[in-house]
Amino acid sequence: MIQLFPRGVQTLEEYRMEIQILHLIEGARKAKGLTVVIDVFRAFSTACFLKANGAERIIPIADLDLAYRIKREHPSFVLIGERGGKKQPGFDYGNSPVQIKDVDFSGKTVILTTSAGTQGIQNAKGASEILTGSFLNAGAVIRYIQQKAPASFPWFVWDTKQFSLQRRIPCWPNTSRVY
């Protein structure tokens, strides 16, 4: 038998949750509970490619100086990221899935530092659990949330205006309700 809803839920009407859409660092600081940090075009698409290409561990770092320090202390770690969209001096790769799509990261630890996505992770200190969202893993994020079945959770996005992700980004799942 296929279970369409979490245990104890019998109808679609019973399976609705409140979704808060928060923005930028201020929004990340308000996040509580299960939180989804969304950076659809770069950081978390890059993270999906890193995992698909064998990376054992991804360390998201907001502070650029800390990222450099970790790389100095662990020269075998791969340093990936950007500031202002530009690869920084000493980085192994920039923050682009295209740059790493054919790179074998098997067994490697990657330091990922970005202007947006990793900043959201760092500032979501009130979150009990953080998921990272991109176009590449949207389905997996939705399935994970369905399994957890929280009463509410924040979507954290990098935009200065209130908007519907579905309207702004048509291929992103409906964020007014998660079924």
| Residue type (1 letter), 8 | G
Q: Which residue has the higher pLDDT, 96 or 2?
A: 96
Q: What is the pLDDT of residue 78?
A: 98
pLDDT given at position 105: 97
Q: List all residues 6 or more positions away from 74 whose beta carbon is below 8 Å from its beta carbon.
A: 109
What is the predicted pLDDT for the residue at 163?
39
Domain borders along the chain are 12-40+119-168, 43-114
Q: Are residues 133 and 38 in contact, defined by beta-carbon separation less than 8 angstroms?
A: yes
Q: What is the dihedral of CA 58, 63, 64, 66, to 10 degrees?
A: -80
DSSP 160-177: SS---HHHHSTTSPPSS-
Q: Which residue bears the tokens 């990261």?
A: 105
The rounded distance, in Å, linking the Cα atoms of 175 and 179 is 10
User: What global pTM score does this model have?
Assistant: 0.76
Give strand pairing partners of 131: 36
pLDDT at residue 64 is higher than 90: yes
